Amino acid sequence: MTLTELSARAGVTVANLSVLKNNRARAVRFSTLTAICQVLNCDPGDLLSVEPLK
């Protein structure tokens, strides 16, 4: 699925999805995460991971 298609289905801008995709996000809204998960039929834990502090 393209970012454009995900954007249209989830109601999240392509710019916001691009920030998330490229690991440039400082935070993510629960509403954004929920919308993406509904479209992708997944759980938030499928999209997020924890990395050790550097």
Whether residue 52 lies inside any domain: the answer is no
Whether residue 22 lies inside any domain: the answer is yes
pLDDT of residue 43: 97
pLDDT of residue 16: 96
Cβ-proximal residues to 43 (8 Å cutoff; 6+ apart), any chain: 37
Whether residue 10 lies inside any domain: the answer is yes
CB 6, CB 12: distance < 8 Å: yes
Whether residue 54 lies inside any domain: the answer is no
Owning domain of residue 19: 3-47
pLDDT of residue 51: 83
Distance of alpha carbon 53 from alpha carbon 50, whole angstroms: 9
Enumerate residue ranges in the chain where pLDDT < 70.
Answer: none
pLDDT of residue 38: 98
